[in-house]
């Protein structure tokens, strides 16, 4: 009798388990996939020099550079507003707001030759100048190979950017093509999770702002991100070797810090 009751109880428990498992499986299969969310990133950078394409825009003065980026539901499209404000008198008219629309995508993601591609349109708005003669526009495209050159547990990442810049008022002396070839490499400090990002580039200015068409400058630098609660603090240090006097007559050592938060 007891054996029969135990057998019946065992069968009943097994049946209940199967029914519950089937119900959970049905819930998983019928549950809607999570919808992509709107991503938002805010950051503010303090830099001891505002270096842009080799030019020392505020002539040895520091700058405050706030930024806001919206990622459009994981579609690859994003929009950004970025500003640069001089930390000193005499350069107020060079204050700017840049508006960017970009699209990014990755190809061959499971392969060693994974290719990241990004295309952008930028409007440079010098809002303190009454006429729009100072404003410029740019379209560009960048490529990077994040897995191609694996060295010591990390990847040496080659990057290339080409952009076409032109003025809103059609002034020919500003219009030009700009090329940048870069490398970056991450090193994790032993026994920590802290990552140092080393980067370098060499740049060709094909006549922008009446500069001679030549290799204009090269940059070497290092940065690292430090999480502080929801905020990431990223100090950086860079050194520019200036090679074309019509762009910059001096080598430049500069640094700063960025605070960023993402939602």
Instruction: pLDDT tens for the chain, 263 residues: list them.
Output: 433 333 334 434 343 343 344 455 444 455 567 788 899 999 999 999 999 999 999 999 999 999 999 999 999 999 999 999 999 888 999 999 999 999 999 999 999 999 999 999 999 999 998 777 789 999 999 999 999 999 988 999 999 999 999 998 866 667 899 999 999 999 999 989 999 999 999 999 999 888 999 999 999 999 999 999 999 999 999 999 999 999 999 999 999 999 999 99
**148 contact partners, CB below 8 Å, separation of at least 6:** 112, 113, 114, 155, 157, 158
Q: How many residues does the chain have?
A: 263
- With 0-12 / 13-18 / 19 or more C-beta atoms within 10 angstroms meaning exposed / middle / buried, residue 152 is exposed
Helical (H) or strand (E) element with 228: strand 226-228
Q: Give the pLDDT confidence score for residue 33 in this predicted structure.
A: 72
H helices of the chain, where? 2-30
Spacing of C-alpha 187 from chain mean position: 19
Q: What share of the chain is helix, strand, coil (3-state, %, to 5)?
A: 15, 55, 30
pTM: 0.84
Q: Rounded CA gap, 100 and 98, in Å?
A: 6
């Amino acid at each position: 009798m007891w054996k029969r009751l135990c057998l019946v109880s065992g069968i009943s428990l097994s049946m209940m388990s199967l029914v519950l498992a089937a119900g959970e499986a049905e819930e998983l299969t019928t549950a809607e996939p999570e919808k992509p969310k709107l991503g938002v990133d805010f950051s503010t950078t303090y830099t001891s020099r505002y270096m842009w394409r080799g030019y020392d825009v505020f002539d040895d003065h520091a700058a405050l550079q706030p930024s806001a980026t919206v990622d459009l539901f994981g579609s690859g499209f994003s929009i950004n507003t970025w500003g640069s404000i001089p930390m000193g008198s005499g350069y107020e008219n060079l204050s700017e707001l840049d508006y960017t629309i970009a699209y990014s995508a990755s190809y061959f993601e499971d392969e060693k030759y994974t290719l990241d591609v990004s295309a952008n349109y930028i409007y440079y708005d010098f809002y303190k100048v009454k006429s729009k003669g100072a404003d410029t526009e740019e379209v560009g495209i960048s490529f990077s190979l994040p897995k191609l050159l694996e060295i010591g547990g990390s990847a040496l990442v080659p990057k290339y950017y080409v952009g076409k810049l032109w003025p809103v008022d059609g002034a020919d002396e500003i219009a030009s093509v700009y090329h940048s070839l870069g490398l970056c490499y991450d090193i994790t400090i032993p026994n920590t999770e802290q990552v140092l990002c080393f980067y370098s580039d060499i740049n060709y200015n094909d006549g922008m702002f009446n500069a001679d068409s030549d290799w204009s400058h090269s940059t070497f630098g290092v940065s690292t991100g430090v999480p502080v609660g929801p905020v990431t603090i990223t100090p950086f240090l860079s050194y520019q070797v200036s090679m074309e006097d019509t762009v910059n007559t001096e080598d430049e050592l500069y640094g700063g810090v960025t605070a960023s938060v993402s939602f």
